[in-house]
Amino acid sequence: MSNLFHQKSLNLLSEQLTEKGIDTSELISKIAQFQIAVPSWALGAGGTRFGRFSIGGEPRNLEEKLEDIGLLAQLTKRTDAVSLHIPWDIPQDTEAVKQKAASLGIGFDAMNSNTFQDYGQPLSYKMGSLSNADAAVRKQAVEHNLQVIEIGKSLGSKGLTVWLADGSNFPGQAHFRKALQWTTDSLKEIYSGMPSDWKLLLEYKPYEPNFYHTVIPDWGTSGLICRQLGDRAKVLVDLGHHLPNTNIEQIVATLMHQDLLAGFHFNDSKYGDDDLSTGSIKPYQLFLIFCELIGGAEEGAQAWDSISWMIDASHNTKDPLEDLIQALEAISQAYAKALLVDREKLNQCQNEGDVVAAQEVLQEAFLTDVRPLVREARIQSGGEGGPLAFYRKEKIREKLIAKRGRSSQASGL
Ligand code: RM4
Ligand code: MN
Ligand code: MN
């Protein structure tokens, strides 16, 4: 898109918004300030249990992962932090890693522990980790999390994300109440090992890799556990971790109402696939989620700054960097549209029971083409107007393949 065309569409949109009493420059600066962390495992092609197809030029080590995120930051100006997964990303030289990240303008978001696979540790997690019937396995899993906290401390992270694969595949395999109790007790030990300025983000997932029961299947179970841990334990909403048709925006509202929302893992899902690109399937849902977030923050339910933002995706078919550019764009758009909602009018419609007008208020915002605002926010921050076009024009993937090689290992495993 030419610069002239961009200016024209921005001016037109500004005029329309000014007529509605909306300050365009304030909007642009809000969009520009909104930063979303990128996980280290999103930079390589993912796979399914049937196979994996390498995209080529994927990062071979932590330094190269940082370089990729640095590039994303430079092009989009929408990300300024990486979320590491241990043991996939154990830094060999912490100081060097810190320096490299700092030189790229990248900080360290929440750390992710991993007790869902075996990677040479003495005891197997096949039958669970924090919920395992064997106390020795639970101890090992707790200690792993404490080590992750130590690594995070050395890098300047301020949070620990726990996602558990624990559960069972068959009726009778697990004792539901004991598994929940062991998980809670293990998490208590982990929580008390966190520095006082850290938060614990507790994820939930209804199924996969276990298909009969998951120890923390939903936000309610996660919230119940968090309540037993302390104020700094909150529920992490991964958009892909819901059964079809779940009203995620309502979950967000309820969690904010209880000051229990830790943050987000952005992605999308059609059936049970938890890692599709955010906004690619249900952009209206993403918009409605942001409406609740903005409303909840404005009305004082939970402070905006207390919420963490991250993309959690892993793709089998797309160039991961192109996908992340699209994801950052989709999130910015949903956020920008939600900022346009006339909340006063919506409130009035709700009080008067005017269902039709309430829908109109939401549609008015959602159907506004906010792309000129998102683009302008990027340009004003020093990024590229069209990061995807730039990425392709500069043949960045081809350059990465030339430098790093065509075949590469999976992002995490
Ligand atoms: C899980 C969950 C976690 C992520 C792993 C790789 O489904 O979303 O957040 O760490 O995948
Ligand atoms: Mn996740
Ligand atoms: Mn997931």
Within 163-290, strands assigned E span 167-168, 199-203, 213-214, 233-238, 261-266
| Maximal CA-CA distance, the chain | 66
Residue 206: partners with Cβ closer than 8 Å, 6 or more residues away: 214, 217, 218, 241, 242, 243
For ligand 3, a single-atom ion, the residues with CB < 5 A are: 274
Helix (H, G, I), strand (E, B) or coil at 205: coil
Q: What does the angle CA 35 – CA 305 – CA 256 come to, to the nearest 5 degrees? A: 115
* Overall residue count recorded for the chain in this entry: 413
Q: How far is the CA of 142 from the centre of ligand 3 (A)?
A: 21
Helix (H, G, I), strand (E, B) or coil at 256: helix
Q: Is the CB of 213 under 6 A from ligand 1?
A: no
Which helix or strand (DSSP H or E) is residue 159 part of?
strand 159-162
Looking at ligand 1, which atom is closest to the CA of residue 238?
Answer: 8
C-alpha neighbours within 13 Å on the C-beta side of residue 307: 26
Q: How far is the CA of 163 from the centre of ligand 1 (A)?
A: 6
Cis bond upstream, residue 122 (ω within 30): no
Q: Whose CA is nearest to atom 4 of ligand 1?
A: 163
What is the full DSSP assignment across 64-83?
HHHHHHHHHHHHHS---EEE
pLDDT of residue 161: 98
Helix (H, G, I), strand (E, B) or coil at 224: helix
pTM more than 0.95: yes
Q: Is the CB of 275 under 6 A from ligand 1?
A: no
Q: Name the CATH superfamily for 3-404.
A: Divalent-metal-dependent TIM barrel enzymes (3.20.20.150)
Which of 48, 238, 267, 276 to mutate for ligand 1's pocket (most ligand atoms within 8 Å of CB)?
Answer: 238
Q: Which ligand is nearest to the CA of 311?
A: 2
Helix (H, G, I), strand (E, B) or coil at 51: strand
Residue recorded with tokens 């029961």:
213
Q: How far is the CA of 167 from the centre of ligand 2 (A)?
A: 17
Per-residue pLDDT tens digits for 295-348: 999 999 999 999 999 999 988 899 999 999 999 999 999 999 999 999 999 999
3-state helix, strand, coil in the chain (%, to 5): 50, 10, 40
Tokens, residue 279 = 């906004």
Which of 117, 163, 202, 215 to mutate for ligand 1's pocket (most ligand atoms within 8 Å of CB)?
Answer: 163
What is the full DSSP assignment across 328-355?
HHHHHHHHHHHHTS-HHHHHHHHHHT-H
pLDDT of residue 410: 56
Q: Is the CB of 238 under 6 A from ligand 1?
A: yes
What is the full DSSP assignment across 301-332?
SS-GGG-EEEE----SSS-HHHHHHHHHHHHH
Looking at ligand 1, which atom is closest to the CA of residue 205?
Answer: 7
Which own/partner contact pairs does 269-273 have at CB distance under 8 Å and 24+ positions apart?
Answer: 269/239, 269/240, 269/242, 271/244, 272/207, 272/208, 272/244, 273/240
Q: Whose CA is nearest to atom 5 of ligand 1?
A: 163
Residues of the chain with pLDDT under 70: 408-413
pLDDT of residue 264: 98
pLDDT of residue 49: 84
The torsion angle over the Cα atoms of residues 266, 271, 274 and 278, rounded to 10 degrees, is: -20
pLDDT of residue 409: 61
pLDDT of residue 302: 98
Sign of the alpha-carbon torsion through 94, 39, 321, 314: positive
Looking at ligand 1, which atom is closest to the CA of residue 208?
Answer: 7
pLDDT of residue 47: 85
Residue recorded with tokens 């994303």:
72
Query: Which amino acid does the sequence have at 291?
Result: C
Do the Cβ atoms of 279 and 331 come closer than 8 Å?
yes
Tokens, residue 316 = 């089998």
Q: How far is the CA of 344 from the centre of ligand 2 (A)?
A: 34
Q: Is the CB of 218 under 6 A from ligand 1?
A: no
Phi-psi region of 204 (alpha: psi -120 to 50; beta: other; left: phi over 0): beta
